[in-house]
């Protein structure tokens, strides 16, 4: 190992990484099928095929396609009759859509800090945040981890809460052999272009509850009854147009055929990094619950300790690691307590009353662990990189060792870079 790549040296890895999206003739064939069918809108055969296959893969009875992961969360909340004045607990470390869905049903997002070793919702703090107005909890299976669902369900039973799982990062994950999204009442997935299952835009809700299935269908389809529903048991509901097109479903059917092998490859590569970096000084993989029997992912996360690297800031470490492996290395989401994208007080539609407005202010919540993860700790690799060959994972490990062994040089470079 020579001098650092960021300082003009030879990188550890110079081979190409996988690109995204991955597609081929199968996507073209199914798009042509949709074109020729003349059924371009919703409830087409390709949408039905994808819904059934995705639900089966996640051990769910039902799947309902919608326009986005954000809308999936919103409709799940509406299906659970969450509305004005209700409080919904969610982690402060999540994409802003988790909270926005709560805002859009006129409920109040309650931002709770995360656990330092897992980056998942801190369930002790979640229970402490429960009030008589709390109606639901949204555990977010973020990056490459799953929330401790046994404890979530025990908490929900104790306090009579609806559990809606945000699975936007966890396509294919399983908890005790059960697909994520089916442990709670409903599970919501994003199918946006950066996700590990990609339709450009889109989402899907899964559930094992027959009544919720009917309600979700009506909510997404202008209040209409599902064609095969029992008219005697169906109840009218005010819905909207949140439908997926058959074009998106065509792409998803092809992409879904690739997903199981991709999930297994990412899982296997994550095990390599977990095993080889598990005892590394200064870089620790997230602690994973033993009940996770299959791990899908959006990002692979390492927890960085600057003290072990001569106080090199995490942003500089990310740049140095990226230079060594020739691939993107990033950080976690800006916590919602401070996020420039989460600004509920700027939108007049949320000002139902002065009391409601004050309750929405994200500044009233404390999330020191999430804020530390963002500012100084988290190092992320993308799910596309996790599709690379195992030797690429070993190169990541070698690059981490190289940066540690040359931490004096790394610190000197970081200081020069900071001074411009």
Q: Is residue 362 part of a domain?
A: no
Among 66, 120, 75, 69, CA closest to 97: 69
Q: How many residues does the chain have?
A: 420
Instruction: Specify the pTM.
Output: 0.97
Question: Which residue in this structure is represented by tokens 């790549």?
Answer: 5
Confidence bin at 82 (pLDDT 50/70/90)? very high
* pLDDT(179) > 80: yes
Q: How many CA atoms lie within 13 A of 78 on its CB side?
A: 25
Q: Is residue 42 part of a domain?
A: yes
Q: Is residue 264 part of a domain?
A: yes
Q: Are residues 80 and 194 part of one domain? A: yes
Note the pLDDT tens digit of each residue in 369-389.
999 999 999 999 999 999 999
Report the phi/psi class of residue 59: left, alpha or beta, with left for phi > 0 and alpha for psi in -120 to 50: left
Q: Are residues 11 and 45 part of one domain? A: no
**What's the average model confidence in pLDDT over 236-256?**
97
**What's the average model confidence in pLDDT over 309-325?**
98
What distance in Å separates the CA atoms of residue 260 and residue 268, rounded to the nearest whole number? 12
* pLDDT(350) > 90: yes
Average pLDDT of the chain to the nearest whole number: 97
Domain hosting 324: range is 5-21+259-333+372-419
What distance in Å separates the CA atoms of residue 34 and residue 28, rounded to the nearest whole number? 10
**CATH number of the CATH domain containing 70:** 3.40.640.10
Q: Are residues 238 and 308 part of one domain? A: no
Q: Are residues 277 and 140 part of one domain? A: no
Q: Is residue 396 part of a domain?
A: yes
Q: Is residue 13 part of a domain?
A: yes
Collapsed DSSP state (helix, strand, coil) of residue 89 = strand
Give whole-number Cα distances, 419 to 78, 91, 126, 416, in Å. Answer: 52, 36, 42, 5
Collapsed DSSP state (helix, strand, coil) of residue 379 = strand
Q: Are residues 303 and 193 part of one domain? A: no
Note the pLDDT tens digit of each residue in 196-233.
999 999 999 999 999 999 999 999 999 999 998 888 88
Q: Percentage of residues in the chain with pLDDT exceeding 70?
A: 100
**What's the average model confidence in pLDDT over 276-285?**
94
Note the pLDDT tens digit of each residue in 121-157.
999 999 999 999 999 999 999 999 999 999 999 999 9
Q: Are residues 296 and 263 part of one domain? A: yes
- State how many domains the chain has: 2
Q: Are residues 168 and 191 part of one domain? A: yes
Q: Is residue 353 part of a domain?
A: no
Confidence bin at 234 (pLDDT 50/70/90)? confident
Q: Are residues 282 and 227 part of one domain? A: no
Q: Are strands 174-175 and 178-179 parallel, antiparallel or unpaired?
A: antiparallel
Query: DSSP string spanning 195-235?
Result: SSS--SS-EEEEES-HHHHHHHHHHHBTTPPPTTS-TTT--
Single out the residue in 200, 234, 255 at which a domain terminates: 255
* pLDDT(420) > 90: no
Query: DSSP string spanning 274-329?
Result: HHHHTT-TTEEEPP--TTEEE---SEEEEEE-GGGGTT--HHHHHHHHHHHHTS-E
* pLDDT(287) > 80: yes
**What's the average model confidence in pLDDT over 318-347?**
98
The confidence score (pLDDT) of residue 230 equals 87
Q: Are residues 311 and 225 part of one domain? A: no
* pLDDT(303) > 60: yes
Note the pLDDT tens digit of each residue in 90-107.
999 999 999 999 999 999
The confidence score (pLDDT) of residue 281 equals 87
Single out the residue in 231, 255, 279 at which a domain terminates: 255
Strands laid side by side in the 299-304 sheet:
283-285, 299-304, 378-382, 329-330
The confidence score (pLDDT) of residue 2 equals 59
The confidence score (pLDDT) of residue 231 equals 86
Q: Is residue 210 part of a domain?
A: yes
* pLDDT(1) > 60: no
Single out the residue in 232, 255, 278 at which a domain terminates: 255
**CATH number of the CATH domain containing 396:** 3.90.1150.10
**What's the average model confidence in pLDDT over 113-127?**
98
Q: Are residues 64 and 183 part of one domain? A: yes
Q: Is residue 355 part of a domain?
A: no
Q: Are residues 13 and 151 part of one domain? A: no
Q: Are residues 238 and 119 part of one domain? A: yes
């Amino acid at each position: 190992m020579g001098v650092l790549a960021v300082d003009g040296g030879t990188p550890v890895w110079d081979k190409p990484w996988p690109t995204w999206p991955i597609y081929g003739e199968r996507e073209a064939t199914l798009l042509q099928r949709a074109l020729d069918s003349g059924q371009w809108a919703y409830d087409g055969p390709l949408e039905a095929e994808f819904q059934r296959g995705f639900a089966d893969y996640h051990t769910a009875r039902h799947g309902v396609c919608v326009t986005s992961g954000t809308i999936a969360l919103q409709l799940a909340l509406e299906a659970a009759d969450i509305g004005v004045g209700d409080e919904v607990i969610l982690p402060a470390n999540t994409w802003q859509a988790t909270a926005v869905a709560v805002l859009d049903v006129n409920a109040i997002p309650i931002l709770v800090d995360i656990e330092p070793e897992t980056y998942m919702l801190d369930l002790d703090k979640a229970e402490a945040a429960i009030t008589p107005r709390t109606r639901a909890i949204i555990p977010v299976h973020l990056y490459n981890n799953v929330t401790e669902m046994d404890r979530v369900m025990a908490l929900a039973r104790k306090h009579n809460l609806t559990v809606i799982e945000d699975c936007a990062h966890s396509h294919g994950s399983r908890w005790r052999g059960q697909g994520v999204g089916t442990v709670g009442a409903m599970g919501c997935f994003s199918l946006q272009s950066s996700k590990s299952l990609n339709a450009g835009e889109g989402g899907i809700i899964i559930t094992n509850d027959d009544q919720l299935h009917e309600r979700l269908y009506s909510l997404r389809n202008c209040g209409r009854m599902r064609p095969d529903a029992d008219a005697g048991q169906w109840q009218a509901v005010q819905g909207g147009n949140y439908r997926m097109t058959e074009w998106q479903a065509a792409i998803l059917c092809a992409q879904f055929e690739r997903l199981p092998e991709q999930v297994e490859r990412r899982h296997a590569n994550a095990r390599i990094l977990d095993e080889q970096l598990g005892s590394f000084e200064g870089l620790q993989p997230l602690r994973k619950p033993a009940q996770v029997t299959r791990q899908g992912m959006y990002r692979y996360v390492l927890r960085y300790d600057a003290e072990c690297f001569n106080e090199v800031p995490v942003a500089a470490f990310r740049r140095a690691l990226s230079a060594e492996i020739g691939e993107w290395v990033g950080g976690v989401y800006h916590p919602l307590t401070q996020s420039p994208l989460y600004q509920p007080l700027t939108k007049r539609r949320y000002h139902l009353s002065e009391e409601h407005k004050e309750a929405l202010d994200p500044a009233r919540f404390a999330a020191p662990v999430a804020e530390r993860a963002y500012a100084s700790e988290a190092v992320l690799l993308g799910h596309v990189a996790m599709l690379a060959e195992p030797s690429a994972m070993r190169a990541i490990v070698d690059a981490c060792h190289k940066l540690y062994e040359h931490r004096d040089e790394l610190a000197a470079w970081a200081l020069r870079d900071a001074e411009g």
